[in-house]
Amino acid sequence: MHSDNQLEKRMDFRQNRLLENMSRILLISKVFMGVVAWIGLFDIFAPLFSNFQPPSSNDFLPIYITFGLFNGIYFYIVNSHVGKSNWNDKEIAKWEKIVNTYIMLSTIWGITASFVDPLEYKYIFMYFLCVFVCSSIFYIALKQVIVWNLLNTIIFIASILIIHPHNTSVGSLFYLFLLMVFVSFLLSRIVYRAFINSYFTKLQWQHELEKNMELTRELQLTNKQLAKQAHHDELTGVLNRHGFQEHVQSLFENFDVKGAMVSIILIDIDYFKYFNDLYGHSSGDEVLKAVAQSIARIADKNGHATVRWGGEEFIVVGTDLSKKQMNSICQEIENAISKLSIQHNDSSVSQFVTVSIGASMGFCATPVELEGVIEHADHALYHVKNQGRNSYLIVN
- For all residues of the chain together, what is the average pLDDT? 85
Average pLDDT of the segment spanning 355-366: 92
- Domain limits of the chain? 4-210, 241-395
Confidence check: pLDDT of 118 > 70: no
C-alpha dist (Å) from residue 179 to 61, 69, 70, 128, 183: 30, 31, 29, 11, 6
Tell me the pLDDT tens digit for each residue of 173-182: 777 778 888 8
Least confident of 146-150, 165-169, 343-347: 165-169
Tell me the pLDDT tens digit for each residue of 71-93: 999 999 998 888 776 788 888 88
What pLDDT shows up at residue 331?
95
Q: Does the 241-395 domain belong in CATH 3.30.70.270?
A: yes
How far is the C-alpha of 288 from the C-alpha of 296, rounded, in Å?
A: 12
State the pLDDT confidence band at 66, using cuts at 50, 70 and 90: confident
State the pLDDT confidence band at 48, using cuts at 50, 70 and 90: low
Percent of the chain's residues with pLDDT above 70: 88
What pLDDT shows up at residue 132?
85
What pLDDT shows up at residue 59?
60
Higher local confidence (pLDDT), 45 or 38? 38
What pLDDT shows up at residue 315?
96
Tell me the pLDDT tens digit for each residue of 125-166: 777 878 888 888 899 888 888 888 888 888 887 877 777 666
Confidence check: pLDDT of 53 > 60: no
What pLDDT shows up at residue 127?
78
Tell me the pLDDT tens digit for each residue of 185-235: 999 999 999 998 988 888 889 889 999 999 989 888 888 777 777 788 889
State the pLDDT confidence band at 172, using cuts at 50, 70 and 90: confident
Average pLDDT of the segment spanning 256-279: 90
State the pLDDT confidence band at 292, using cuts at 50, 70 and 90: very high
Tell me the pLDDT tens digit for each residue of 385-394: 999 999 999 9
